[in-house]
Amino acid sequence: MGDDLAGLQAQMGRGMSITLYGIAKSRASRCMWMLAEAGVPYTHVPVSPKDAATDPRIAALNPNGRVPVLTEGELALFESFAINLHIAKRHGGALGPRTAEEDSLAVMWSLWAATELEPDAHQVLWHTLTLPPEQQEAAVREGAIKRLHRPLGAVSAALAKGGGWLMGGRFTVADLNAACAVFYLRGAPELLAAFPAVQEWYGRCTAREGFRQMLRLRGNA
């Protein structure tokens, strides 16, 4: 599959400009990180999550009325992790899957990040840093932290088996998408400290220049 995929990437990537709709302080930041890692030039159209629902440009591309949205040629994609999988496969080289098995693993870890990790991680962020202090609920935060022990344990086991990365023994879209969900845990360092292998892996992911470029677009927040 490797040679065929590389040829397909080259063929499909020629002559098609990329446009990303969204802002850095939203899930579009995930796509900005992936685009930076892949070294792909793109046009950025700032649209906030609040404005997306009434923006006619977004309505024409995403019937859900949400950002991020990425267009490339006639293709329009929404859902940040799906966008990142597309970028990795078409433009990402070693960031993308090299085999059919890796392709399946990349999809698996991306869906896992969205379903098993992100919902509770978002609750932790919301009830630690996002909401005004008087609206934060300690019970909600602690319940989410308790539930997160299982998925973080799954990451730890996968890293031990995979030589420090989620697939292929190298940094890939699987790591990037999963790390984007872990990003929500920046208000709970004690939770990551309970999983040293995950903490070390996350540190390596976020030490990359692509992540730092994205963080600068966010204003380092």
The string of pLDDT tens digits covering residues 164-193 is 999 999 999 999 999 999 999 999 999 999
Contact 147, 117 (CB under 8 A): no
Q: Where are the domains of the chain?
A: 2-94, 99-216
For the segment(s) 2-94, the CATH number from 3.40.50.1450, 3.40.30.10, 3.40.50.150, 3.40.50.2020 is: 3.40.30.10
According to CATH, what is the number of the domain 99-216?
A: 1.20.1050.10
Dihedral sign for Cα atoms in the order 205, 208, 211, 215: positive
Cα–Cα distance list, 62 to 31, 70, 149, 200, 215 (Å): 16, 10, 34, 37, 26
pTM of the model: 0.92
The DSSP output letter for 134 is: G
Cα angle value 208/96/102 (rounded, 5°): 120
When pLDDT is cut at 50, 70 and 90, the band that residue 221 belongs to is confident
Is residue 150 over pLDDT 80? yes
pLDDT band of 16, cuts 50, 70, 90? confident
- Give tens-digit pLDDT for 118-149: 999 999 999 999 999 999 999 999 999 999 99
Per-residue model confidence (pLDDT) at position 15 = 55
